[in-house]
Every structure is written in structure tokens, then in C-alpha cells.
Amino acid sequence: MAGKLRLALVQMDVHAGDPEDNFARLEQLLEEAVAAEPKPDVIVVPEMWNTGYALDRIQELADPAGVRTKAFVSDFCRRHRVNVMAGSIAEKRESGDVTNTAYGFDREGHEIAAYSKIHLFKLMDEHLHLEAGGQLGRFELEGVQAGVMICYDIRFPELARRLALDGAKVLFVPAEWPHPRLHHWRTLLQARAIENQMFVVACNRSGVSGDTHFFGHSMVVDPWGEIVAEAGEEETIVRAEIDLALTDEVRGRIPVFADRRPQLYEQHSVD
Ligand SMILES: NC(=O)CCC(=O)C(=O)O
């Protein structure tokens, strides 16, 4: 199992409705991310980076079966011997449904994770254009148990808890989270890290689409809730190194998992 992981979070300015431009820009940013010394072990990309929230044209713009995205990311990973959490994209299924799906690829270019956002965000009309996923985002990265949740998903503490109970020590969060909810973003990410005593690696987009201002602030939070690295609002690459041993250390210090009383608060109540 990897003890330490070097991370690079690509806080990209996504151009809504322009996949060609976004593929070209992401390629430049990925090349920039691996050119640095020391080279990252894992690169993380924001939510819906291929199309942005051009939801009224999403049927025409979404990547059919994710084929283009998977070939592009897999090839990059293999050439550079790096893991990529390829944010999420608009993926068009054979059924015609479009999902907001995140992928992970390892250093050999193998797909190690695929997760479709399970909570669609009504404030940005996702429920009108996208189909929700029905499975959790558990996977293994370099021998480490990990999880992935997408943007609005972080408002659901039960989901992060489930992933932590299943062994996740790192949670990846690709996002397109805009103003005026910066304080929600920062507080929720820190809360998910503290309550589950795990690393949270959250990559938001920057830039403006229509009237919506995306604030960036991609960040890495450690299992003690400390912010290890945080970006400003501009397009940038945030770098950080994390030591996975800290998860066990914090869990040993305050034994939250051993002290849980699920029989009292996980029983079904009448809503
Ligand atoms: N893309 C999203 O899921 C945005 C979520 C968001 O902005 C929120 O406040 O929640």
C-alpha cells in the first residue's frame, strides 16, 4: 500500500458547451501537471469538464459511452505512468440517458473507478436532463481504499460515512460549485474529513459560465480537518503530498468508528 501520495488538482476553467476546447485545455493542463518535479502520483480533474453545464444541449454534446474520454485519459496515464481521477463527464448511455460520471485510471491506463452522481442538483436543473446513478463509488488506488462522490453529493453525510465504513481512507470530490456558497463548500469538505477521519481531495472548476461564477478553492483536507492545500479562484494546479498513515493515527486517537451506536440512530423512522 502507498504510504504517501503526491496529488495535483487541476482547477480548470471549463467552457460550457465546447468539448473540443475542453479536451484541448485539459490536455495542456495534464501535461503541465506531470512536467513538475516531483511528479504527481494522482491527478484530479473537476466535474463535467467535457461539456460544463450546457444541459439544454447535453444530448448532442455528451460523450457516447465515455469512449473518447476513456481513450484520452487511459492513453495519458499509460504514457506518463500516473493515476488520473478524471473528474466527471457528461456520458451518454446506449439507452439515450445522460449521466454525470466520474472515472479513475491507474498508471497502466486501466479503468479502476466509474461512478455516476447519485444526487442530482435541482438548483442547476440536473434532474431535468440527467439520469442519477444507482451505485456507490468505491475503488482501490495504489493499494489504498478510496471513494468518489460528485459535488452536491457532499451534502449527504450518510454517503461519505458509508464509504468510510467500507474502508475508504481518501475521498475524491470533483465539482462545479459556484458562488455564493463558498462557505458551504469549505465547511462541508472539512466536516466530511473530520467526521470520517479521512483525506478529502476536492477539485472544483474556476471561471464563469453565463451568470454562474465558479470559485475554484480546490482543496486537500487531512483526517484531522486541517486544510493541507487550497487554491484561490483562478485556473491553476494545486499540489499537495498526503501521508495515508495519518488516517490510522487520527482514528486511533479519537475512536469514532468504535464508539458509534448505529443500533440507536440507523433504525428506520417514519418520515
Ligand atoms: N454541481 C453541483 O452539484 C453543485 C452543487 C452546489 O452548488 C451546492 O450548493 O450543493
125-164 pLDDT, tens digit per residue, is: 999 999 999 999 999 999 999 999 999 999 999 999 999 9
pLDDT of 270: 60
The C-alpha cell of 186 is what? Answer: 469549505
Spatial distance between the Cα atoms of 244 and 4, rounded to a whole number of angstroms = 6
Instruction: State whether the beta carbon of 181 lies less than 6 angstroms from ligand 1.
Output: yes
The residue ranges of every structural domain in the chain are: 4-251
- Dihedral angle, C-alpha 44, 124, 189, 174, nearest 10 °: -10
Average pLDDT over residues 26-38: 97
**pLDDT tens digits, residue range 61-101?**
999 999 999 999 999 999 999 999 999 999 999 999 999 99
Residues with a known catalytic role? 47, 117, 151
Spatial distance between the Cα atoms of 192 and 25, rounded to a whole number of angstroms = 31
Instruction: State whether the beta carbon of 215 lies less than 6 angstroms from ligand 1.
Output: no
The C-alpha cell of 80 is what? Answer: 506518463
Instruction: State whether the beta carbon of 79 lies less than 6 angstroms from ligand 1.
Output: no
Spatial distance between the Cα atoms of 128 and 270, rounded to a whole number of angstroms = 29
Length of the chain: 271
pLDDT band at 271 (very low <50, low <70, confident <90, very high): low
Q: Considering only CA atoms, which residue is closest to atom 10 of ligand 1?
A: 152
In the predicted model, is pLDDT for residue 56 greater than 90? yes
Average pLDDT over residues 171-194: 98
Burial of 151 (0-12, 13-18, 19+ CB in 10 A): buried
Mean residue pLDDT of the chain comes to 97
Q: Which of 115, 151, 184 to mutate to test the pocket of ligand 1 (most atoms within 8 A of CB)?
A: 151
The C-alpha cell of 227 is what? Answer: 486544510
Q: Considering only CA atoms, which residue is closest to atom 8 of ligand 1?
A: 152
pLDDT of 268: 66
Q: Which atom from ligand 1 is nearest to the alpha carbon of 175?
A: 1
Spatial distance between the Cα atoms of 178 and 211, rounded to a whole number of angstroms = 10
Whole-model pTM? 0.97
Q: Considering only CA atoms, which residue is closest to atom 1 of ligand 1?
A: 176
Q: Indicate whether this complex's ipTM tops 0.90.
A: yes
Q: Which of 14, 120, 177 to mutate to test the pocket of ligand 1 (most atoms within 8 A of CB)?
A: 177
CA of 155 to the centre of ligand 1 (A): 9
The fold for domain 4-251 equals Nitrilase/N-carbamoyl-D-aminoacid amidohydrolase (3.60.110)
Percent of the chain with pLDDT over 90: 97
DSSP class of residue 167 equals: T
